[in-house]
Amino acid sequence: MKKYCKAYLLADLRAFPDWSASAHPDERELTDESLVYLDDEFKVLACPVGKDKDKVLFGEVTPEWQEFCTQALKFEIPEDLAFAYTDAEQG
């Protein structure tokens, strides 16, 4: 179960050099101003809830992608939610 997602403009994620090679074809229908969601597994979702909650627009999770997300996008789990991950690991 996903515990955390953060919204980004699609343009920001398309800045990743290997984006076009691995993105889902549905992503091409969106504009740079479309909001998409980066989840805690580093997958990009059309929406984290509702009918599109499982539609992955980008799921090629590589070390380079994770570095781009943490360095360029500054993606991280907020400190006030860190307990949810600690509890899940211990459970």
Residue pLDDT, tens place only, 43-80: 999 988 888 777 899 999 999 999 999 999 999 988 87
Q: Which secondary structure element, helix H or strand E, spans residue 56, and what is its range?
A: strand 56-58
Mean pLDDT of 2-28: 89
Mean pLDDT of 10-21: 92
Q: Give the C-alpha separation, 79 to 42, whole Å.
A: 18
Residue 65 CB contacts under 8 Å (≥ 6 apart), including other chains: 16, 18, 42
| 3-state secondary structure (DSSP) of residue 89 | helix
The single residue listed with the structure tokens 């343009």 is 11
For the residues of 4-52, what is the DSSP string, one character each?
-EEEEEHHHHHTSTTHHHHB-GGGGGS-TT-EEEEETTS-EES-SSGGG
Query: What average pLDDT does the chain have?
Result: 86
Total domain count for the chain? 1
Domain that holds residue 11: 5-90
pLDDT given for residue 2 in this prediction: 56
